[in-house]
Chains A and B, each alone.
Chain A
């Protein structure tokens, strides 16, 4: 029985430049800040940065796994709090915050980098059936 406080197994993700390019292709977002170092630096960024939506994909991965093979994700919302650079190691964590009627639950999500700084925070609601 799922209980408040339950933490699904965390995920570790290490986005590299190839993944950023793959995600750009798959999502249709060709903003050069995600693949062109010189361009990214020319507008004040430290270099190529990861798409916020790629991080949200990592978060949705944890939530989708939590929902199980017969379930589905009903809602997911996040805030992107820090830049992600290729080579970062991200840890995706969740903790159940509410058990809802009709086989549903709410989960708080966070992603931190290798410096233990938060890059994403949010929440989601799943149905297990």
Chain B
């Protein structure tokens, strides 16, 4: 199976706050560590879509165009909470790469799964990205 080089990231508080600010989410769980801990969390909580920053489409053997790539679907299974200070090792795998003939031309569907493992060896999250490449369309 084609997959990216695994990479380990330490989750930083600043990155969490910056991400939450960028999406306009002022939930104190993502901004105030004391608040997060007071409500039973292990630390400053990463917002649910934060793991998107770990996906790595540089998969040897997978050719993706620089243009015309459409992010059609995305899903996250957040098996454990991710908080600032956690170390996540992430790998993106190619699940399928298929071409279908549609009304507006050939469409290529690329499905990639990214898995993040925490320091305890548990799977912290799994995400599935469905990318569409519209071939033959300007």
Residues of A within 8 A of B (CB): 13, 19, 22-23, 25-28, 43-44, 51-54, 56-58, 60-61, 63-65, 69-70, 72-80, 122, 124, 129
CB-based contact B48/A76 at 8 Å: yes
Report if B1 contacts A (CB, 8 A): no
Chain B residues with CB under 8 Å of A61's CB are: 23-25, 27, 47
Which chain B residues lie closer than 8 Å to A75 at the CB level? 75-78
Which secondary structure dominates chain B's binding surface?
mixed
| Interface size class of chain B, counting residues whose CB lies under 8 Å from the partner chain | 35 or more
When A26-B19, A60-B48 are in contact, do A69 and B39 touch as well, CB less than 8 Å? yes
Residues of chain A within 8 A of B45, CB atoms compared: 72
Out of B27, B35, B41, B138, name the residue touching A64 (CB < 8 Å): B27
What residues on A are CB-neighbors of B71 within 8 Å?
51-53, 80
Are the CB atoms of A73 and B24 closer together than 8 Å? no
Which residues of chain B in 58-103 are interfacial with respect to chain A, using CB atoms and an 8 Å cutoff?
A: 67-68, 70-79, 81
Q: Which of A43, A65, A124 sits near B27, CB closer than 8 Å?
A: A65
